[in-house]
Structures are given as structure tokens and as C-alpha cells.
A and B are shown apart, each in its own frame.
Chain A
Amino acid sequence: MSGLIPAFDLSRVILDPWMETPAAAAWVVLMGALVGTSCGIVGNFLLLRRMALVGDAISHSVLLGLVGAFLIFRHVSTPLMFLGAMAAGLLTVAIIEFIHRQTRVKADAAICISFTTLFALGVTLLSLAEVGGPVHIDAECVLYGEIAFVALEPPFVWDGVALGPPSVLRMAGVTMVLVVLLVIFYKEMLITSFDGALAVSMGMRAGIWHYALMIALSLVIVSAFEAVGAILAVAMLVVPAMFAAQLSSSLPTRLWLTVAHACASALAGFHLSIWLNCSAAAAMVVCGAVFFLAAWAATSVRPRVMVPDPA
């Protein structure tokens, strides 16, 4: 019990990582910031649509997609995994909508049924696959990933220059694509998230934008999965967006706040994990949650204004 919380040693916790293994530290923090940013951007729109827990559902059922893709193609390759996970994500959404529309079961129960079933199917297939093959999928890491491994990946070499760990580059690519799409389709996403009926009346196809968001969601979850796992991916979706929404009601400001929150919690979480010797991804989420709690506290202590007597 005594060794649970190590003494805080400034040089060990703050300085050493950057002095001794600067590249590793930088990649881990960068990965955390990228995951937080891309998830947070999508998360902002999920919050607007009150669909935060659909993100939860998709992040769980991604497992089935990964296992399914592997079982079908018997080959570990990133594009196939991506496709499988994306298909599983869309399948989740489709099942939720089917149950919700065709029966009197409400949306919340439909979400719960759909993702737990797909997740259970994924775990079962996983254990079946393990029997016959040499491939081993670590289901705990499915749940909370291990971001620290990005530093150990053999760097992606292009034209003789080592660019960096492939998963970080992939995440950066996804973030970039997401930002570009956001800039191009900002107004459509805003309107369809804010007021679906208005969007339809303006000739927009709300369904297309809904599914576009779901595809974006699957994409960021799959790419974040490797680093933070299914459940912490939910945290990355919800927490930065909630932090931003707590502080601002304008969407552009919220998006910037999301980025700031992602970077800050990645950095703080990295050091927390070194101090406490615990999972880096979880520590990043804990820091992010603490930031939200601080924002919550800060916005609640505003003095109450008494209503003046109008007479």
C-alpha cells in the first residue's frame, strides 16, 4: 500500500522524460493531443445532437469490426481493419435505429442492446480465433489501449527520412482530414446538428449529414482505438467537448477550446502517468476530467444576481 503513490520528484516527473528520451515523450504527448483534438471535434457535434452515448456504443462495437476483418481476410492490415471497424460502427447505428423505429423499445435501451451484443460477439469471436491462430489480440488493451507504445513503433521511413511512428502519422492524417472537412462543411454540420427540421426545410438532407458524422465518428474512434482503447475513446469524445461547452456557447470558440483542452490534458496526463506510474491514456483522461471539473466549479461560483423589483 505504501508504494502506491510515489513521492513527487520534480526532476523524475517533469524534466527527465524530456531530457533523456525527448523524442518518445514528444510522440506520446503529440499522439494524445491529436486523439483529443480529433475526437473532441466530433464530440462537439455529438453533444449538440445529444448523441454522446452513440459514440460510446460505436467505440465498443469497433472491436467486432476489427476481429471480423481479421477473421475474414486472415491478414493484419491497417486499411482492412479500418474498413471492418467502419462497417461495425455503421452497423451499430443501423441496429439502434432499427430497434428504435420498429419496436416500442426506446432509444436508450436500443443503444445499450446494440453495442453490448456486438461487443460480446466480438469477444466471443476473438476467443474462437485465438484457438486456431498465432495471432493474439489483447482484450484489455482493447478497453484502455496503451499510448506509450507509439514511441516504440519502428518509425515510418519515407525517402530515407524517418518521419515518425506510423500510428501518430495516421492520427495526424485523420485529424487533418477532419479539420479540412470541418472547414468545408462547417455550416451544414452546424445547421443539421442545431435544428434538423430547419435544415430539411432549407433543402439539406439531414440523413446524409447524420451518417457522415457517424462515419467521421467511426474513423476517429478506429484511429484512436490503438492508442486509448474503446472506453477511453469515449472519454476523448465527451470530455473535451463538455469542457468547451461549459465555457462558451459559440461553436467556433468551443472548437478552439477543445483543441486547447486536448493539448493541455495530453501534456498533464503524460507527466501524471510518469509520476504515478500508471496508464498514460487513462491519466490523460483523468487530467481532462479534472479540467472539466475546474471549469464547472469556475462557472458555478458566479454571483447570483437578485431580480430587481420591476415596480
Chain B
Amino acid sequence: MTEDDPVGADHPVEIHDLSVAYHKKPVLYGIDLKVPAGTLVGILGPNGAGKSTLIKAVMGLLPPAAGWIKIFGKPYRQNCRRVGYVPQRESVDWDFPVNVMDLVLMGRYGRLRLGQRPGATDREIARQCLDKVGMLPYAQRQIGNLSGGQQQRVFLARALAQESDLYLMDEPFAGVDAATEAAIVTLLRELKERGKTVLVVHHDLATARDYFDRLMLLNMRLVAFGPTEEVFTPEILQTTYGGRLNILSEVVQTIGSR
């Protein structure tokens, strides 16, 4: 929305020496990176490597134990309208009494004043976003009556309705059917072409190479961050997924929990 913002516009996400701890146990340690604008970044790493934690820390959902994060050159609070978020599908109760339209409209809530109701424009935008993910025919369905892939698409539509410049997606490919996976990939490319930046937590090494133009390899520490062809090497993958860092994490955990 504010394309002419000069400060930090090149770096939608700038992380400096970030450490995050859960119940005194460190999950992320000394992360330092700058994400360039208009890139499609895949965040990879073994289970418990802190991939979701990083995303949550970026949005200020988890307080950093050390270091700082800037979004387009400002603290997250001041720029939260420029960020769209797709949480993990399991993080919500799908029996919740809302329908697909209600859910997508939530994407507009961040732009409305306290107590203001979504208006006709918001509905129109929500409808367009639903159409973009092919879910418009389901607008009046209760969200529990959707398949896993459809639920994920609705989540994506909600993020689109936020009309942000930076998108953070937590495992959008987890447990979806092939059609949805293809639809998500198309959508990601389209966002990139429109100059948006997308950070995607991903679990599948096999597809990571094709989907993203940059990869962030994470295992408590930032192992590597760079263009896919440079980073996607056996050595770096071995460092990320292999045993070496596990020792580090064990040591740090025992110290942290003592």
C-alpha cells in the first residue's frame, strides 16, 4: 500500500541477533538476516527447529529474549497492516460457528476501526479473494464442512483480503490435496509478481527447490539463507538436518532448563 515508503522498503523483514525462548528453553538463537523485497522465501528445517517460532516472533506473538525485528524498517506494531498471516490449519477450532465468508472478512478487521463493521467494499474484496482461490461457491458453508485443502484455501483467501505487502504462512502445504497445492503455488508466484514478499514455513524438501526462489535453513540457528540454487546443497542440508546441531541444541536445552 505504501510503495513509496523509503525507510527499509527494500527489507520487509530485518532480524538482528534474535533469540526466542519458550518456558526458558531457547528455541531460536542468534538469528541475523534481511529478507529482500519481492521474494518467495521457504523456511526449512527439521521438527522443532523453530520455524513457526520465527514467524510468530516476527509478528510479535512471542517476545524475543534478545535482539530485535523490524518490518519495513519499523517495529511490527506500527506496520502490522502491511503483514498478512496464514496460521497452521490445526490452530483453530473448525467447529466454530462461522461460515467461509465470515472467516475471509476477518482479513479486513485489521483495517477497520474499533467497533466498526465491515462494509460493502470489504465484502466485495472478500468475495474477490474467495474467487481467486476458487472457493466462492462455498461462501455460505460452515467452515467445518470443508475438506482440508479447502480450509487451507479459505485461510489463504483471508490473508489475501488483508491486502498486505508481506505474507507469513505457517505450513500452508501441510495435509492438502494436489489441486490445492498447485493452486497455492500459483498464488504464491502471482503474489511475487505483484512485488509482495512471502515467507512460507515448509516441510517438504523435495518440492522446496521448485517452489521458492530463496531458502532459509533453520535449526535453532540460521544455518543458511540465500538464493535456492546456492543454498540447496547437500552440505548445507546435512548441516541443517544432520546430527551435528542436535548436540548443540541438547546442550543448550540442558543448560537452559537447569
**In the complex, is A directly touching B at CB under 8 Å?**
yes
Instruction: List A residues at the B interface (Cβ < 8 Å).
Output: 104, 106, 304-305, 307-310
Complex partner residue of B252 from A104, A106, A304, A307, CB under 8 angstroms = A307
For residue B118, CB closer than 8 A to chain A, the reply is no
Is there contact, CB below 8 Å, between A305 and B255? yes
Contact of A310 among B21, B24, B29, B258 (CB under 8 A): B29
Question: What chain B residues lie within 8 Å of A305 (beta carbons)?
Answer: 24, 255-256, 258
Is B64 close to A, CB under 8 A? no
- Give 18 A-B pairs besides A307-B26, A308-B252 with Cβ atoms closer than 8 angstroms: A104-B95, A104-B144, A106-B95, A304-B24, A305-B24, A305-B255, A305-B256, A305-B258, A307-B21, A307-B29, A307-B252, A307-B255, A307-B256, A308-B255, A309-B30, A310-B248, A310-B251, A310-B252
Q: How many A-B residue pairs have CB under 8 A?
A: 22
Q: Does residue B52 face the partner (Cβ distance < 8 Å to A)? A: no
Main SS of chain B's interface residues? mixed
CB within 8 Å of A: which residues of B?
19, 21, 24, 26, 29-30, 95, 144, 248, 251-252, 255-256, 258
A311 to B, closest residue via Cβ: B30
A310 to B247, CA, bound (A): 11
Closest A residue by C-beta to B24: A304
Alpha-carbon distance A106/B96, docked complex (angstroms): 11
Q: Considering only CB atoms, which chain A residue lies closest to B258 in the complex?
A: A305
Contacts of B21 in A (CB 8 A): 307
Task: Give the chain A neighbours of B29 by CB distance below 8 A.
Answer: 307, 310
Find chain B residues with CB under 8 A from A309 CB: 30
Residues in A with CB closer than 8 Å to B95 are 104, 106
Taken together as a complex, chains A and B put the C-alpha atoms of A309 and B220 apart, in Å, by 12
Whole-angstrom distance between the Cβ of A308 and the nearest chain B Cβ: 7
Chain B residues within 8 Å of A304, by CB = 24
Q: How far is the CA of A304 from the CA of B65 in the complex (A)?
A: 12
B80 vs chain A, min Cβ distance (A): 29
In the assembled complex, the Cα of A134 lies from the Cα of B146 at a distance in Å of 60
| Contacts A/B (CB < 8 Å), 13 sampled | A104-B95, A304-B24, A305-B24, A305-B256, A305-B258, A307-B19, A307-B21, A307-B26, A307-B252, A308-B255, A309-B30, A310-B251, A310-B252
Chain A residues, CB < 8 A from B251: 310
The distance from the CB of B141 to the nearest CB of chain A, in whole angstroms, is 16
A305 to B24, CA, bound (A): 8
Inter-chain contacts of A106 with B (CB < 8 A):
95
Residues of A within 8 A of B26 (CB): 307
Residues of B near A308 (CB, < 8 A) are 252, 255
**Whole-angstrom distance between the alpha carbons of A146 and B258 in the complex?**
44
- Chain A proximity of B239: nearest CB distance (Å): 14
Question: Can you name the residue of chain A whose Cβ is closest to the Cβ of B247?
Answer: A310
C-alpha gap A106/B26 in the complex (Å)? 34
Least distance between A85 CB and chain B CB atoms (Å):
34
Interchain CA distance A308-B30 in the complex, whole Å: 11
Q: For B94, give the chain A residue with the smallest CB separation.
A: A104
CB of B251 to closest CB in A, whole Å: 7
B66–chain A nearest beta-carbon distance, Å: 9
Q: Which chain A residues border B252 with CB–CB below 8 Å?
A: 307-308, 310
Shortest CB-to-CB span from B4 to chain A, Å, is 40
Which A residues touch B30, using CB under 8 A?
Answer: 309
- Nearest-Cβ distance from residue A47 to partner chain B, whole angstroms: 18
In the bound assembly, the distance between CA atoms of A304 and B29 in angstroms comes to 16
A250 smallest CB distance to B (angstroms)? 16
Report how far A104 CA is from B93 CA in the complex, Å: 11
How far is it, in angstroms, between the C-alpha of A308 and the C-alpha of B21 when the chains are bound?
A: 13
Closest residue to B21 on the A side, CB-wise?
A: A307
Nearest-neighbour CB distance to chain B for A193, whole angstroms, equals 22
A304, A309, A310, most chain B CB atoms within 10 A: A310
Shortest C-beta distance, A224 to chain B (Å), equals 34
Closest residue on chain A to residue B30 by CB atoms: A309
A76 to chain B, nearest CB (A): 46
State in angstroms the CA–CA spacing of A257 and B226 once bound together.
54
Q: How far is the CB of B240 from chain A (nearest CB, A)?
A: 16
Q: Complex: how many Å from CA A309 to CA B258?
A: 16
Cβ contacts under 8 Å, A307 to chain B: 19, 21, 26, 29, 252, 255-256
Q: Which 6 A-B pairs have the closest CB atoms?
A: A307-B26, A104-B95, A310-B248, A305-B258, A307-B252, A307-B256
Smallest CB separation, B8 vs chain A (Å): 28
Instruction: Give the residue name and chain of the B residue nearest to A302 (CB).
Output: B258
Which residue of chain B has its CB nearest to the CB of A304?
A: B24
Give the residue among A106, A305, A307, A308 with the most B Cβ atoms within 10 A. Answer: A307
Nearest opposing residue in chain A for B97, CB measure: A104
Nearest A residue (CB) for B95: A104
Q: How far is the CB of B171 from chain A (nearest CB, A)?
A: 24
CA–CA, A158 and B49, complex, Å: 68
CB distance from B247 to the nearest CB of A (A): 10
A291 to chain B, nearest CB (A): 24
In the assembled complex, the CB of B24 is this many whole angstroms from the nearest CB of chain A, namely 7
Shortest Cβ gap from B117 to chain A (Å): 28
